[in-house]
Chain A
Amino acid sequence: MHPALSVIFFTTASGAGFALLILLGLGAPLSLLPTSQSFGLAALATAVVLAAGGLTSSAFHLGRPERAWRAFSQWRSSWLSREGVFSVLTFLPTAVFGIGWVFFGAMTGLVVLCGILAAGLAAATIYCTGMIYASLKPIHQWHNSWVVPNYFALGLASGFLVLHFLIRLWTVRPSGFALLTLIVVLTAWWIKERYWRFIDTTSGRSTVASATLLGSRGSVHMLEAPHTEENYLLKEMGFRIARKHRLRLRRVARLAGFGAPALLTLLASLLGGVVAIISAGLAVASAALGVVVERWLFFAEARHTVTLYYGAETV
């Protein structure tokens, strides 16, 4: 599948933003986070900018962005529509939660309720994002039970790393949170490795034989393509990536997305002070690069059944 940059930025940024909202909506009422109003402003603004920035970026992927509002109508059947509805709904309790926290310093009653509500809606949004991909039967690398956990894990790992960095700016020794961040990053890594193992060792049920009803005389292979030049189907669904690049990029995703952030987080929890702040900041930067590469691979490694009509024998 063609990795569109707008969609990669959208899923990674809004994944991190909505995960951060989950952590803030649940963490602040439970007094697990710094309670200062300035921290609330910085953390909520970061979450909203990431989530809303990602959503805005997704509109650039559209052929007719001016009609994007129409995408809220078909929530009964479409995961994409549901994602749109939940993402917008999330901002309503977030606004009340943010105003209560930042302007009134209140963490009681309605504000707590809105925090929890925002966390729930943000989680629903991430679930819908995952399901957009996991519901597509023609793409084996997406239509499997690792995809939704993968979206949650990557979103939460990014959210934890960002929050860890922000907490460092306000609190001197938050070592408990650093360890929690470390555990989340390592869990996300494990889930990603399991996903990669799954797509490396299995393939879709459809084959060139099932796609063409042929095969009674023996193996089936493409003799001639219908057209000599690329078409939309090949540009969009027939995107191919060389094996050596794939493995190299996986190493980049492993190192930048999980290995380096885990080490830097550990370093931050051991050292403290300015070095810890810098380490936590570098962990965020490294994870951002790693997650973008991971998401690029999520598209580039996905093989659509339409390629069976263009020479692929399995997907």
Chain B
Amino acid sequence: MTSLPEPRRGPKKLGLVIDLDICVGCHACATACKEWNASGHMGPLSDFNPYGGEAWGVWFNRIHSFEEGEGEGARTIHFPKSCLHCEEPACVTVCPTGASYKRAEDGIVLVNEAICIGCKLCSWACPYGAREFDADEGVMKKCTLCIDRIYNENLAPEDRQPACVMVCPVNARHFGDLGDPRSSVSEIVARRGGGDLMPELGYKPVNKYLPPRLGRMSPSVADTVGATDADPMLPGERLLRWVDRLLSR
């Protein structure tokens, strides 16, 4: 059914929370995603010309890098992006065959590859670029929120998390039920002022992004950097200055 399921009372909304403040842009989540999903529920994730020029293929997760601000106040932000499992996913309602669907029980948006005709309309309807066409299989592919991990009873309970969350070396990704206001993911979103991407389009993404904290690069730090250049310090002073900076974090 491509019509959206009737919302249930107290629905489960499984999703990710991504912390833009601490993501270091290592691409481990994208690599782990590709590694797991190439042989997972939506696999294979076809690659074309993988060892030559103009290599391209299907990935569910991509890490963009942005710069915010100008000059000394500027900051680099690494920005992982995958399917946001929206509450109002137009990718589902535009599907002419019913291949694209949203699960009522946990809100995960999936593609039934057996009936997908590869018309690509869902990829046009997604503002976020979450869906990719597999030119080898002729069907659309997308993030499954690792549905074959999170419910997999063959895995240890602590491993029942999406591959991207498991692998993140700096804990910038969190997985949980965003429909439950008392869940740890909902609490971190509330505490850090997490928000939606392109809220103006009304897709109501379930995945939330935590904005970078303000004031990490305060003017006093900028001044210290300037002062160091102006009058050279003795090695001992430099060590103390470093300890001071470390402790005042």
A interface residues (Cβ-Cβ under 8 A, vs B): 1, 61-65, 67-68, 70-74, 76-81, 84, 132, 135-139, 205-206, 208, 210-227, 229-233, 235-237, 304-306, 309-310
B56 located at the interface, meaning its Cβ lies under 8 Å from any Cβ of chain A in the complex: yes
Query: Complex Cα distance A233/B27, Å?
Result: 18
Task: Determine whether the beta carbon of B64 is less than 8 Å from that of A206.
Answer: no
Q: Tell me which residues across on chain B come within 8 A of A208, comparing CB atoms.
A: 66
Partner of B211, one of A139, A214, A232, A309: A214
Q: Tell me which residues across on chain A come within 8 A of B195, comparing CB atoms.
A: 213
- The residue of chain B having its C-beta at the shortest distance from the C-beta of A142 within the complex is B124
How near does chain B come to A213, taking the closest CB pair, in angstroms? 5
Task: Determine whether the beta carbon of B125 is less than 8 Å from that of A136.
Answer: yes
Q: Tell me which residues across on chain A come within 8 A of B223, comparing CB atoms.
A: none
Counting chain A CB atoms within 10 Å of each CB, the highest count among B30, B53, B129, B209 belongs to: B129
How near does chain A come to B212, taking the closest CB pair, in angstroms? 7
Task: Jot down 7 A-B pairs with beta carbons below 8 A, ordered by A.
Answer: A62-B119, A63-B140, A67-B97, A76-B2, A78-B93, A222-B64, A222-B67
How near does chain B come to A232, taking the closest CB pair, in angstroms? 4
What's the count of A-B pairs with C-beta under 8 Å?
A: 214
Q: Tell me which residues across on chain B come within 8 A of A68, comparing CB atoms.
A: 117
Instruction: Please count how many residues in chain B sit with their CB below 8 Å of the partner chain's CB atoms.
Output: 73
Task: Determine whether the beta carbon of B117 is less than 8 Å from that of A236.
Answer: no
Closest 10 CB pairs of A and B: A63-B118, A63-B138, A217-B69, A306-B129, A218-B69, A81-B96, A71-B96, A138-B127, A226-B62, A70-B97
Q: Tell me which residues across on chain B come within 8 A of A77, comparing CB atoms.
A: 2-4, 92-95
With A1-B124, A73-B97, A136-B125 already in contact, the answer to whether A214 and B132 are too (CB < 8 A) is no
- The residue of chain A having its C-beta at the shortest distance from the C-beta of B124 within the complex is A136
Task: Determine whether the beta carbon of B94 is less than 8 Å from that of A63.
Answer: no
B22 located at the interface, meaning its Cβ lies under 8 Å from any Cβ of chain A in the complex: no
B175 located at the interface, meaning its Cβ lies under 8 Å from any Cβ of chain A in the complex: no
Task: Determine whether the beta carbon of B117 is less than 8 Å from that of A67.
Answer: yes
Partner of B133, one of A211, A217, A232: A232
Task: Determine whether the beta carbon of B96 is less than 8 Å from that of A233.
Answer: no
Query: Which chain B residues in 194-240 approach chain A with CB under 8 Å?
Result: 195, 197-203, 209, 211-212, 214
Partner of B94, one of A62, A78, A211: A78
Query: Complex Cα distance A214/B78, Å?
Result: 11
Partner of A210, one of B4, B30, B198, B211: B198
Query: Complex Cα distance A236/B125, Å?
Result: 12
With A214-B211, A223-B66 already in contact, the answer to whether A230 and B197 are too (CB < 8 A) is no
Q: Tell me which residues across on chain A come within 8 A of B135, comparing CB atoms.
A: 63, 232
Task: Mark B40-67 against chain A: 1 for CB-CB distance below 8 A, else 0.
Answer: 0000000000000111111100111111
Task: Determine whether the beta carbon of A62 is less than 8 Å from that of B64.
Answer: no
